[in-house]
Amino acid sequence: MTQGFDFSILPLLAVLIPACGAGITALVSFYSAWWRNLTATAVTAATLIVVTAMYPAVVTGGRVLSFQLFNVVSPLNLTFRVDSFSFIVALIASFVWLAATIYALSYMEHEENRGRFFSLLLLTLSGTVGVPLAGDFLSLLLFFEIMSLASYVLVVHTQTDEAYSAGDLYLYLGVVGGMSILAGLALLYFRNGTLAILPATLLIQGMDVVIPLAAILMIIGFGIKAGMAPLHIWLPRAHPVAPAPASALLSGIMIKTGAYGIIRVVNVLLVPSAGPSVAEHAKGLYYEFWSMVSGMGYVIIWIGIITMFMGVILAIIQENIKKMLACSSISQMGFILVGIGVAGYLKYEGAMGMAGASYHIINHALFKSCLFLAAGVIAYKLGELNMYNLGGLWKKLPFTTLVVIIASLGIAGFPFFNGYASKTLLHHALVEAYEHYGVKALLEAERIFMISAAGTVLYYLKFIYLVFLRRPPEESVARIESIKGEPRSMKFGMAMLAVMIVFIGLNPGFLLNSLIIPTVSSFAFAPDFIEHHIVGIHFFTTSDIMSSLVVIGLGAIAFAIGVKSGLFKMSFPAWLGQEFFATQLGKAVVSFWNGLSGVFVSILGTVGGGFSGVFRTGFSLLQGLDYRPGKSDTFRMFNLSNIDFDVLLIMGILAGALVFLFYLQFGVFGIGI
Quick one: what percent of the chain has pLDDT higher than 70?
A: 77
274-286: average pLDDT:
48
Got the DSSP string for 394-454?
HHH-HHHHHHHHHHHHHHHT-TTSHHHHHHHHHHHHHHHHHHHH--HHHHHHHHHHHHHHH
- Measure the CA dihedral 220/326/130/194, to 10°: 10
State pLDDT tens for residues 406-451.
999 999 989 999 989 999 999 999 998 888 887 888 889 989 999 9
Average pLDDT, the chain: 79
Instruction: Look at 521 and 665; give whichever has higher pLDDT.
Output: 521
How far is residue 355's CA from residue 339's CA, in Å, rounded to a whole number?
8
580-609: average pLDDT:
64
How far is residue 188's CA from residue 460's CA, in Å, rounded to a whole number?
43
- Give the highest mean pLDDT range of 400-404, 565-569, 669-673: 400-404
641-662: average pLDDT:
61
Contact 642, 627 (CB under 8 A): yes
Phi, psi for residue 76 in degrees, rounded to 5: -100, 170
Q: Is the pLDDT assigned to residue 2 strictly greater than 60?
A: no
Peptide bond into 230 cis (omega under 30): yes
Could you tell me which of 17, 130, 10 has the C-alpha nearest to residue 65?
10
Strand arrangement, sheet containing 76-82 = 5-7, 64-73, 76-82
Confidence band for 279, pLDDT divided at 50, 70 and 90: very low
574-580: average pLDDT:
51
Confidence band for 1, pLDDT divided at 50, 70 and 90: very low
State pLDDT tens for residues 95-110.
999 999 999 998 888 7
Q: Strands 76-82 and 64-73: what pairing?
A: antiparallel
Contact 246, 125 (CB under 8 A): no
Contact 66, 135 (CB under 8 A): yes
How far is residue 636's CA from residue 628's CA, in Å, rounded to a whole number?
9
How far is residue 314's CA from residue 589's CA, in Å, rounded to a whole number?
25
Q: Is the pLDDT assigned to residue 272 strictly greater than 60?
A: no
272-286: average pLDDT:
48
Sign of CA dihedral 108, 109, 113, 115: positive
How far is residue 411's CA from residue 420's CA, in Å, rounded to a whole number?
8
Peptide bond into 75 cis (omega under 30): yes
Got the DSSP string for 314-337?
HHHT--BHHHHHHHHHHHHHHHHH
**Which residue type is seen at 68?**
Q
Confidence band for 276, pLDDT divided at 50, 70 and 90: very low
State pLDDT tens for residues 44-82.
999 999 999 998 888 877 788 888 877 665 456 788 988
SS3 55: helix
Confidence band for 206, pLDDT divided at 50, 70 and 90: very low
Name which of 39-53, 518-532, 571-585 the model is least confident about. Answer: 571-585
Instruction: Look at 160 and 1; give whichever has higher pLDDT.
Output: 160
pTM: 0.79
Contact 156, 164 (CB under 8 A): yes
- Name beta bridge partners: 81: 66
Q: Strands 5-7 and 64-73: what pairing?
A: parallel
Instruction: Look at 233 and 9; give whichever has higher pLDDT.
Output: 9
Confidence (pLDDT) at 650: 61
Annotated domain spans of the chain: 5-572
Please state, as a whole number, how many other Cβ atoms lie within 10 Å of the Cβ of residue 590. 10
321-345 and 440-464 are packed helices; what angle lies between their axes, rounded to 10 degrees?
Answer: 160
How far is residue 48's CA from residue 93's CA, in Å, rounded to a whole number?
9
